[in-house]
């Protein structure tokens, strides 16, 4: 079956694109956790398949050689390109794949659309994702993270509350629009969905009073890519 995003592309171009995709030797360094989940869900949406090398972050393998030679920041995921170049940071990895792999962009087809995707991705990252993740690292995650980074346990409750405040703001913004960045499903939805899923799993549940956010979360969760 031809993947959905290739159906409107002429057969000859499609063949060239398929050849290009087959030639790649990229490797995705993968682990448990919401950041790799973002890249896997994005790849599933875009029909991109890459070999993965698992790194055990629970055992701390990411914080010692040889992985530190791959990513000196000691975190997952990382993408190794054909020439050995390493890319890190989920947004950069996904945007690189979006630009280099065949198929419809999840960032947008026009400068305006891409700007809206980046606008709302940055907003969600700063206002919901980072507070949610640090709220976890500084409380339930403290045993794992206390020797890996500076942790501020006293900030945990406040950070979690900040994330909830901004989810309430997003609930208002979702009036009359289907997705985080507008009427189209974009990378902003992938990123926020994966982190809210992680938040729910570690005790930062979605407030059911936020009906639009809840409906959006269920709609995105019904996409096959969500379980990637
Ligand atoms: N800003 C990074 C965050 C990466 C990150 O925090 N990854 C987590 C997995 S979800 C990790 O490696 N945790 C283990 C650790 O920090 O030791 C990105 O965008 O990729």
Tell me whether residue 90 is exposed, middle or buried, using C-beta atoms within 10 angstroms of its C-beta: 0 to 12, 13 to 18, 19 or more: buried
Q: How far apart are CA 223 and CA 198, in angstroms?
A: 17
Domain enclosing residue 87, as ranges: 4-100
pLDDT band, very low/low/confident/very high, at 24 (cuts 50, 70, 90): confident
Asked if the structure places residue 106 within a domain, the reply is no
Quote the pLDDT of residue 23.
Answer: 66
Look at residue 191 and tell me if it is in a domain: yes
* Residues of the chain above pLDDT 90, percent: 89
Identify the CA nearest to 212 among candidates 178, 162, 186, 184: 178
Ligand 1 residue neighbourhood (C-beta within 6 Å): 31, 33-35, 57, 62-63, 74-76, 88-90, 148
CATH code: domain of residue 175? 1.20.1050.10
Residue located nearest, by CA, to atom 20 of ligand 1: 89
Same domain membership, residue 87 and residue 14: yes
pLDDT higher than 90, residue 20: no
Q: Is 67 within the bounds of a domain?
A: yes
Q: Which of 29, 30, 34, 35 to mutate to test the pocket of ligand 1 (most atoms within 8 A of CB)?
A: 35
Between strands 86-88 and 52-54, the pairing is: unpaired
Domain CATH number, residue 60: 3.40.30.10
Q: Which of 6-15, 89-98, 151-160, 185-194 has the lowest mean pLDDT?
A: 6-15
Close Cβ partners of 109 (under 8 Å, ≥ 6 residues apart)? none
Q: Same domain for 52 and 158?
A: no
Among candidates 188, 176, 185, 182, which has minimal Cα distance to 223?
185
Cβ-contact 20, 102 below 8 angstroms: yes
The total number of structural domains that make up the chain: 2
Same domain, 120 and 196: yes
Residue 84 CB neighbours (<10 A): 8
Q: What is the pLDDT of residue 67?
A: 98
The reported pTM is 0.91
Same domain, 172 and 79: no
Q: Are 123 and 186 in the same domain?
A: yes
Ligand 1 closest atom vs CA 33:
10
Do 120 and 78 fall into the same domain? Answer: no
* pLDDT single digits (tens) 141-159: 999 999 999 999 999 999 9
Domain for residue 147, yes or no? Answer: yes
End-to-end CA distance of the chain: 20
Give yes or no for a contact between 35 and 90, defined as CB atoms under 8 angstroms apart: yes
Q: Which of 29, 31, 33 to mutate to test the pocket of ligand 1 (most atoms within 8 A of CB)?
A: 33
């Amino acid at each position: 079956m031809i993947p959905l995003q290739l159906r409107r592309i002429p057969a000859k171009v499609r063949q060239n694109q398929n050849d290009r995709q087959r030639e790649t030797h990229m490797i995705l360094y993968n682990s448990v956790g919401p950041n790799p989940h973002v890249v896997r869900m994005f790849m599933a949406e875009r029909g991109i398949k890459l070999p993965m090398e698992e790194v055990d972050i629970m055992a701390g393998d990411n914080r010692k050689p040889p992985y530190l030679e791959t990513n000196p920041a000691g975190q997952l995921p990382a993408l190794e390109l054909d020439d050995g170049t390493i890319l890190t940071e989920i947004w950069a990895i996904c945007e690189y794949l979006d630009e280099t792999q065949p198929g419809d962009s999840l960032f947008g087809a026009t400068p305006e659309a891409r700007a809206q995707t980046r606008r709302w991705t940055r907003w969600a990252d700063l206002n919901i994702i980072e507070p949610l993740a640090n709220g976890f690292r500084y409380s339930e995650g403290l045993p794992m993270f206390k020797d890996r980074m500076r942790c501020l346990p006293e900030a945990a409750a406040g950070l979690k509350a900040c994330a909830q405040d901004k989810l309430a703001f997003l609930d208002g913004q979702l009036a009359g629009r289907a997705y985080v960045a507008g009427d189209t499903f974009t990378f902003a939805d992938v990123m926020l969905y994966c982190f809210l899923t992680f938040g729910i799993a570690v005790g930062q549940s979605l407030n059911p009073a936020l009906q639009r956010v809840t409906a959006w979360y269920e709609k995105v969760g019904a996409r096959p890519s969500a379980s990637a």
